[in-house]
Each structure stands twice: as structure tokens, then as C-alpha cells.
Amino acid sequence: MKYLFAVVLVLLLIASVAVHQGMPDQGEVPTLRWATEQGEVREGQRRVFDSWIKKQHADDPKNFPLFNVQIDPANNRNDKLIIQGVAGVASDLFSGSRGGFRSFQSIGLLEDITDVAKAKGFSYSETYPPLYWEITRNGRQYGYPMNVTVPLFITNARAFRQFGVETPKNGAEWTIEEFEALGVKYVTAARQELGRRAYFVDKYEPLVLRRSFGLATFNETGTRSVLDDPRYVHTLKLLHRWTHDLNIMPTSGEAEAIAGAGLQNFVNGVYGMIYDGSWWLEALRPNTGRFNQVVHGFSDGDMIGVPPPKPAGPEGMTNTILRTRVCSIYAGGKHRDLAAVFMQYLASDDYSKELVTTPDSLPPNPHMTDPANPESELFYRPVRMQDGKNVLQYEWQINPVFVHAVWEWAVGTNYSDFVLPDVVSRIETLAIKDMIANRRTPEQTATLIHEGLQAEIAKTINADPRARAKYDELRALQQKIDERRAAGQKVPVAWLQDPFYQRYYLHRGWAEGEARINVPVERRYKK
């Protein structure tokens, strides 16, 4: 079997080299290949780049040489990029999510852009502070965000009114107890009105739920799973209760049964709330060409956004997940200097303007959502006139909540240097799916996940002496953190290797210093 795998790997490598060497030149100027998905959104961003680079070149030809960017969807897979990257023939620009970014960086495929990013205006200081953790490793920058997603419970306020149920307050924090009570009222009224099964929410992210109780996935240094904590069992019991006992959330089977009419189910109130990012709003926009069109008739006040709830009491903290697609420069590319110019484009107002008019999530440049910027109206108050009516006015209430969320509530994934994010997701997702199907109890599920993550950490540090050295260093730091906590002393924020812990420790008064995640309102936008 191992020889068969080796043969397949060699054949893939030969094919990858042949494909790249056989790609035609796009003209006299250089062509950079961008490994990303194909689609109208990316094509639109590439077209805007064409006009942007011509405009910059006209003003400053020395620093903005002309070049083309070609979307390379055929090689937009992590396994292909790794094979090609090791062979020295990967695309000039990578784009990917958290798992891909950390995998690529860990094996040296990504260019360290810290210095050039500061010089050319696309450093981590030019985007939202929580994104620092998503585009850096060990204090060095390896990418720039292409977009920003902060899911909220997108709420069909019209359905709540139709069913005679109190509507959550737009953008307001609330408790898990309030969430549960309102969910029961909603499904009771909706099922009576619709004559069919209905649900309060479509899903709930386990990480977000347990973080609201002050629990992440790993400890403060990423050296140990903390999912043997009783709070994790409690959150799993809540997920099971909401799915089976109260049925305010569908089982996977129930969700799959009505998945084909997902948009229509939201419009009709079968789902009262959908947990997703602002990109999802495009699905409701008329004539986008990307989704099956749904006639919804939403108007002003019909759609609002609320964050995931928190438990009552001082331990509770509102949070949502922060996600991004990261664009990085291939360290072995021949045009790394031109790739850095493309990164400047991603930080430009032109690119952000394209994102907010699509919409494809929040723009990475906060300037486009700064209320002092007149062009921010493109995001906050979009306009599309049909028959003398603005058919996008229903977005006006929810859009400011997405911006508030990225500053106030959003925290990235809880990472460990010793377990890849995709492995964490696979272990937890499969185990929770079995729990919801009543194949395991919440207690058994928590034990299975915790032991699985611990085994992954052990496997990593036993296989790599460098990982073992890093682990020992972080364990020593963890001991210092634990000693301070046991003595009732505050912990320096810089010791906390995870954004969630930085925010939560400050929330509880357990830390001293300034985090890279909490930014006072008066300092959110550059003057």
C-alpha cells in the first residue's frame, strides 16, 4: 500500500508540474496565478484589480508595475498546493481558511510579509484587531484577509410579528435562559400557524456556546484539551435538550429533509433565525445570479441581527466566531514582489467597495465601515431601486450589527500548535453528530473528544523534536499562568496565547495589559 501511495504521489507531482509549465502566458506583462475558487465574486474582484492596477500604474509606474492575475481554481485544494509548493511550482497566491493557512505556514510554503506589509500598507494594523490571530504565526505576518465573516442570528422579524411572538431586540445581548424561553414560544406559535414543524434556529456552534461559559477547546497555551471540564458536558446537554426535548433546533436528519428549500424556509418562518454571516444576505438580493431567487418581500424592519446568547451571571460572555479567507504569497514564487502589490489591492478602498456592493462578507479594510467615511453608506444603507422602491432597505437595521460584532464580540478559533484546526473540527463534529443521534451520552461524547485531542497532541510532540521543545516551553508558561490564577493574581495578557483567553480574562478582571482584541469605540477608526 505504501508503494502505491508513493506512485500516486509522484504521478500527481508530475501532472502538477506539467499543468503549470503548460499554462500559456497572458501577454507581455507577467501573470500571477491565484489559487482560489472560481465564481462571479472572484471574477469581479479580479476585474476591479485590473482597473485598480492601471490607475496606480498611471500615478506611480515604478512601485505599481502592470501585471495580470489569473484565477487558478483547478489547484485550489490544500493537498495540491502542498504537493506543488514542495515541488516549487505552486500558484503565486494562495487563498484559504484557517486550516489551510496554518498547514501551509507550518511547512514553510508562505512568505513572511511582516516588513513589506508595514511598508506598503497591508499589515495586520490595517484591518480589524481580532484578525491578527488569523494572519500571523509567532508574531510574524503571513497573509492578509480577503473578507471577514462574523455570524449572527439573522432574524426574520416579520415572521415573529406574524406569529404574535415578541421579537428579539436588534443587536442586543441576551441570556441563554431568554433564548430558550423565546425559542419555545416561537416554535409553538409557528407550528400552530404554519401547520407544520418549524424551528427557532437552524444551528448553534458548539465552540461559541461553550466559550459563552468561559470554556475554549484548549488551555491558555494550547498544550492541553480542556474539554474534560464539566462545563463542556453542560453545553452538550443544552444542544441535546434544544434538539430533542424542546425541538427548537433541528436534528441533522430534519435539517437535511428541508435543506432544498433553505431560503424559502427562512422567508416563510419555518426557521425563525439563521446563524450565518453577512454574505448570506446576498442570497436574498434580487437578480444576484448566484442563488435560486426567492421572492421574499422583506421591507424596513423585517430583518434584524442578534448575537449568540450568554449565561446569566459574571461568567457569561457574549461571543461569536470570527472567520476569514486569508490570501498569502507563495514563498517559492517567482513574482513575490508583484504578489505584494496584489496584497496592497486587498487592503484598498477599491477592493473593499467591491465587497460591500456584492456583498461578500465584511471588507477587510475598516475604513469602508467607518461611519465618518461617506462611502460607508454603500455598506450600511445599500440601495437598489425597483418600481420606485428600495428593495434592499430591509438590510439597513442588520448591517450595523455585523460591524459591531467584529469589534465587540468576534473571536477567532481556539488554536493549538499541536493539532491542526481541521482535525479538531473532524473529531468534535463526528462525536456530536453521534450524540444528537442518541448513540452516545453527552458525558461519553465529551470524554471521546477530549481523549481524541489529547492523543493528537501526544502524537505531534512525540514525532517532532521541534514540536516537543515548543511544547515544553509553553507548558512552563502554562505553569506560571496556573500559579498566578491559584494565588488570585492577575496574569499578563501577553502570556495568554489565544485571543479568547485574552478577552475572557479581561472580561473577568483576571488579566493586566492590553489585548489585541478589545478596542474602545473612540479608537476603532483611524483619524
**222-225, long-range: CB within 8 Å, 24+ apart, which pairs?**
222/414, 222/415, 222/416, 222/417, 222/418, 222/474, 222/497, 222/498, 223/416, 223/418, 223/457, 223/471, 223/474, 223/475, 223/478, 224/454, 224/457, 224/478, 225/449, 225/450, 225/453, 225/454, 225/457
For the cut 90, the answer to whether the pLDDT of residue 485 exceeds it is: yes
For the cut 60, the answer to whether the pLDDT of residue 29 exceeds it is: yes
Choice between 458 and 83, residue whose per-residue pLDDT is larger: 458
The CA distance from 345 to 493, in Å, is: 33
For the cut 60, the answer to whether the pLDDT of residue 187 exceeds it is: yes
The confidence score (pLDDT) of residue 521 equals 64
Given the C-alpha cell 448575537, which residue does it identify?
Answer: 307
The confidence score (pLDDT) of residue 293 equals 59
Mean pLDDT across the stretch 422-434?
Answer: 96
Nearest 5 degrees, angle CA 302-CA 307-CA 310?
140
Which domains, and CATH codes, for the chain?
2-148+323-380 (3.40.190.10), 152-212+230-321 (3.40.190.10)
- The helix/strand/coil state of 120 is helix
For the cut 60, the answer to whether the pLDDT of residue 203 exceeds it is: yes
The CA distance from 366 to 356, in Å, is: 12
Give every CB contact of residue 197 below 8 A, 6+ residues apart in sequence: 191, 247, 254, 270
Q: Identify whether the C-beta of residue 300 lies closer than 8 Å to the C-beta of residue 393.
A: yes
The confidence score (pLDDT) of residue 13 equals 46
Lowest mean pLDDT among 119-128, 220-229, 278-287, 398-407: 278-287
The confidence score (pLDDT) of residue 26 equals 44
The confidence score (pLDDT) of residue 79 equals 86
226-238 residue pLDDT tens:
999 999 999 999 9
pLDDT band at 386, cuts 50/70/90?
Answer: confident
Q: What is the mean pLDDT of the chain?
A: 90
pLDDT band at 361, cuts 50/70/90?
Answer: confident
The confidence score (pLDDT) of residue 523 equals 66
Q: DSSP assignment of 142-175, as one string?
A: --EES-BB--EEEEEHHHHHHTT-PPPPTT---B
The confidence score (pLDDT) of residue 1 equals 40
Grid cell digits, residue 288: 444576484
pLDDT band at 282, cuts 50/70/90?
Answer: confident
Give every CB contact of residue 65 below 8 A, 6+ residues apart in sequence: 29, 57, 338, 341
pLDDT band at 24, cuts 50/70/90?
Answer: very low
Mean pLDDT across the stretch 53-74?
Answer: 94
Mean pLDDT across the stretch 403-422?
Answer: 93
For the cut 50, the answer to whether the pLDDT of residue 22 exceeds it is: no
Mean pLDDT across the stretch 25-33?
Answer: 77
107-156 residue pLDDT tens:
899 999 999 999 999 999 999 999 999 999 989 999 999 999 999 999 99
pLDDT band at 38, cuts 50/70/90?
Answer: confident
The confidence score (pLDDT) of residue 457 equals 98
Percent of the chain residues past pLDDT 90, beyond the cut: 73
**440-447, long-range: CB within 8 Å, 24+ apart, which pairs?**
442/233, 442/236, 442/237, 442/240, 443/233, 445/236, 446/227, 446/228, 446/232, 446/233, 446/236, 447/228
Choice between 369 and 40, residue whose per-residue pLDDT is larger: 369
Choice between 279 and 270, residue whose per-residue pLDDT is larger: 270
Mean pLDDT across the stretch 500-514?
Answer: 94
The confidence score (pLDDT) of residue 388 equals 82
What is the reported pTM? 0.90
Cα atoms in the 13 Å half-sphere on the side-chain side of 230: 0
For the cut 70, the answer to whether the pLDDT of residue 477 exceeds it is: yes
For the cut 90, the answer to whether the pLDDT of residue 242 exceeds it is: yes
